[in-house]
Structure formats: C-alpha cells, structure tokens
C-alpha cells in the first residue's frame, strides 16, 4: 500500500505555483475580430449581444491589431462583413473584398502578426448559409470549388492561415489542392473539424451578420449528443491535410477537447465562442460572478482539457490579467 495520512498531506503543497500543472499564456491566445465594410474611417460599432466587442472599419481593425500586438497577442482571426451579399457569396473571393483589403492593410501596418482568416460563405450570402443552395438545401460538393477560390484570394492578400468553418465534407482537401496548385504550399489550414450545431453561436450572428434566412445548420454542423463522431471528423480532416484542428464551442465541450488531444498529434485549437463570452459578461455585469476570476478559470480549464491554442474574445482581458 502507498503511504497515507498522516504521512501524506495534500495540503502541504496546495496553491504553490511551483506545482501548477496548467499555465495560461498569452502566446496561446487568438483574438477574433469583425471587420465591417459598411463602417467608415476609424470608427467601430458596438455589438449589442456581446458587450465590449465591436465591429471595426478596416482602419479601425488595423488600430485594434496594433493594440493587441502591444498587449502581447500574436494572432488574430478575421471575419468580414461585406457591403454587398449575393446567393453565392462572391464578395468572399473578391480581390478587393473587405477581408482581402483588411489583410493587406494589416500586413503592411503591423509587424509580426499571424493573420488567420475565417473561410466561409455565411457572412457573404443573402441566405446566410455556409454553403451554396440548390432546391432549398445546402449542397456540399458544389460549395467546395467556391471555398477553394476564397482560400486562394485570402492567401494572395497575405493571410498566413486559412480557417474553413463551414463543415462541408471534403473542404480541407479541396482547399489544400487549390492552394497548392496556385503555389501557396506554405499557407496552413486550421480546420473547424469538430464544430457543433450550438445555441452558443447566437450572439455571433449579430456580430457577423451571418444569421440564416431559413432552416438551420443541423445538416452540416454536428449534433451535440455525439462524441465519437467528433473523432471521425478530426481524423478525416487530418487525412485531408489540416495542419491545425479545432473543437468548437469550448467550455461545454471539454470532453471532446480531451478526447481529441488523446487521439491525435496535431496542434489543437479550441474556440470559446460568442455565447460563452456573452454569458460570462452578462452575469458579471449583473454582479452575479466575478468576471476576471471566471475568465481565468474557464480558459485554464480549456487548456487543462488539452487545447494548445484558444480563440477567445477575452484575449485582451487575459493579456492584461497576465501582465
């Protein structure tokens, strides 16, 4: 038998930094930003469903990225809101689209920032779905060609990593092939591999103006009852060429993060989504809980579960807290 009480006293080391197993680091954080083509100058517009978060003009986004860099944040994830939408989301692959212009500008003005671009159709289509529509349904295969085109236009603009978020089957393969054919062999793919159909995306729909006009996303996003399926999704994306895989959302899905970490050896990113941000913000604004403590606890839990990287709207708060 192992030694026991009173020889063993767990309280002896309790709270010592020396034995802390998980450490949140500013190096692990990715800040999501919304860039709205309709906003002029250096302005920004508050997002009602996410108090403290904004949509930025392109100029405003440059300023925000500079500030994030000065806080030590190394990477940003960019979402674009175009001035014009159509059925196939053609602004998403416009050479002079909002994201392409924003990426070029940020690359020019900000040193040493890793730019990740969200790669999806929902912000760019009038119907708000993540794929093309035929006969009232989202069709998988015809969408793949468009995703490839978007990837190339983002790479041409200067994106370092593209992040397909639409959960189309075969999207990683289609994007990798297209990028490689165009000579972008060094552009990495961060795949939203296990993305659940979650009510926690609610606030994001206002943030990114990506709400859908009919149906829902259950035809392509995962059922929250399933865990083994997530491992298959991740496995397939790795086989297709994903460099980094994602589990999303994060805090309700720590078991999935932990399973993916145990099963695969690629970098794993967890996306702590809009609903996680808004819940914590609302409760702390009401004085029901302590904002800073809950942020640290929640994000440390995500790392403890096994995430290497965390996409979080709290990135700037944490940067300040860790200073």
| Residues with catalytic roles | 195, 248
User: Contact region for ligand PBG (CB under 6 A) — 1-9, 51-59, 117-125, 177-185?
Assistant: 117-125
Nearer to Zn ion among residue 171 and residue 179 (C-beta): 171
When asked if residue 127 is in the footprint of ligand PBG (CB under 6 A), the reply is no
With contact defined as beta carbons under 8 Å apart, do 88 and 113 qualify? no
When asked if residue 31 is in the footprint of ligand PBG (CB under 6 A), the reply is no
> Restricting to residues 211-240, which ones interact with ligand PBG according to CB under 6 A?
217
Burial class of residue 193 (count of CB atoms within 10 Å of its CB; 0-12, 13-18, 19+): buried
With contact defined as beta carbons under 8 Å apart, do 298 and 253 qualify? no
> Restricting to residues 273-292, which ones interact with ligand PBG according to CB under 6 A?
273-274
Burial class of residue 158 (count of CB atoms within 10 Å of its CB; 0-12, 13-18, 19+): middle
Q: How far is the CB of 166 from Zn ion (least distance, A)?
A: 5
CA distances from 181 to 2, 32, 148, 165, 243 (A): 60, 29, 10, 22, 18
For tokens 């978007």, name the residue: 150
| Residues that contact ligand PBG, how many (by CB under 6 A) | 12
When asked if residue 210 is in the footprint of ligand PBG (CB under 6 A), the reply is yes
Q: How far is the CB of 173 from ligand PBG (least distance, A)?
A: 19
**Binds ligand PBG by CB under 6 A, chosen from 56, 124, 201, 253:** 201
When asked if residue 34 is in the footprint of ligand PBG (CB under 6 A), the reply is no
| Pair of tokens at residue 152 | 């190339």
- Smallest CA-to-CA distance from 193 within 253, 237, 161, 227 is with 237
Nearer to ligand PBG among residue 62 and residue 273 (C-beta): 273
Where does this chain bind ligand PBG (CB under 6 A)? 118, 120, 122, 130, 165-166, 201, 204, 210, 217, 273-274
């Amino acid at each position: 038998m192992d030694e026991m009480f009173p020889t063993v006293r767990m309280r002896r080391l309790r709270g010592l930094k020396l034995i802390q197993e998980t450490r949140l680091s500013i190096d692990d954080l990715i800040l999501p930003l919304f860039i709205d083509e309709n906003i002029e100058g250096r302005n920004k517009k508050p997002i009602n469903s996410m108090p403290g978060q904004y949509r930025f003009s392109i100029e405003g986004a440059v300023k925000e990225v500079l500030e994030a860099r000065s806080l030590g944040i190394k990477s940003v994830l960019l979402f674009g809101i175009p001035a014009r939408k159509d059925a196939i989301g053609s602004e998403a692959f416009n050479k002079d689209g909002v994201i392409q212009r924003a990426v070029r500008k940020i690359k020019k003005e900000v040193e040493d920032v890793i730019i990740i671009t969200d790669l999806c159709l929902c912000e760019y289509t009038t119907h708000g779905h993540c794929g093309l529509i035929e006969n009232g349904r989202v069709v998988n295969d015809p969408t793949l060609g468009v995703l490839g085109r978007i990837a190339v236009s983002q790479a041409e603009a200067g994106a370092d990593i593209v992040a397909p978020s639409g959960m189309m089957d075969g999207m990683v393969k289609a994007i990798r092939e297209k990028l490689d054919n165009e000579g972008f062999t060094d552009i990495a793919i961060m795949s939203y591999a296990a993305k659940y159909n979650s009510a926690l995306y609610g606030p994001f729909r206002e943030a990114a103006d990506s709400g859908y006009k009919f149906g829902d996303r259950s035809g392509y996003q995962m059922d929250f009852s399933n865990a083994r399926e997530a491992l298959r999704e991740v496995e397939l994306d790795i086989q297709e060429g994903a460099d980094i895989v994602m589990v999303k959302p994060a805090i309700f899905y720590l078991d999935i993060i932990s399973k993916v970490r145990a099963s695969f050896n690629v970098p794993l990113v967890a996306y702590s989504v809009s609903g996680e941000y808004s819940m914590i913000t609302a409760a702390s604004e009401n004085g029901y809980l302590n904002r800073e403590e809950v942020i640290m606890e929640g994000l440390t839990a995500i790392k403890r579960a096994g995430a290497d990287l965390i996409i979080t709207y709290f990135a700037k708060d944490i940067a300040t807290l860790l200073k």
